[in-house]
Amino acid sequence: LILSGVAGRLRERFGKLSGFDTWVLDAKTEPYCEFLEDATNVVYLTSDGDEVVQEFDPNTTYIIGGIVDRNRMKGATARKARLQGLRTARFPLDEYVAMGANITRVLTVNCCIDIILEHLKTKDWTQTFLKCLPERKGAQERGEDEEDSDNGDEGDS
């Protein structure tokens, strides 16, 4: 696990988090585009991604962005990834759980990490989402007769 772009004020803020120095990750000061050499095996996770994640490939690097796309900067994550020549993908939320049409599919970085770790453990998207999505999302197991919903939200997954 790599945390990139950790410099300046961001580094100071992380330094104030209790236990940050014990996190099992590599905190790099440079942005990911400076140290990821082969973009063919890089996928930027965003709720408006072009692809849908079915499983996590151990030979692929997955980027969870910290751009908040929901309101003022809709679609910023996907645009940034595309400009950098990176593939984009989203979690299969609507394929496995039902949420209200007005519920955003934009997720926090912590939630994305929980989803990835839980799915790697269980290989079950429905149970992963029911366990990891915040209660405010109102996720329920999708019935077989329910149609896919497209709420048009764009943003970080």
Q: Which is the catalytic residue, given 26, 38, 48, 69? A: 69
Beta bridge partners of 139: none
Identify the pLDDT of residue 146: 58
pLDDT, tens digit, for every residue of 67-82? Answer: 655 556 778 888 889 9
Question: DSSP labels for 110-147?
Answer: HHHHHHHHHHHHH--HHHHHHHHS-GGG--EEPPTTPP
pTM for the structure as a whole: 0.80
Q: Is 156 one of the catalytic residues?
A: no
In whole angstroms, what is the distance from residue 46 CA to residue 111 CA?
A: 13
Surface-to-core class of residue 121, CB atoms within 10 Å of its CB (0-12 exposed, 13-18 middle, 19+ buried): exposed
In whole angstroms, what is the distance from residue 75 CA to residue 154 CA?
A: 5
pLDDT at 64 over 70: yes
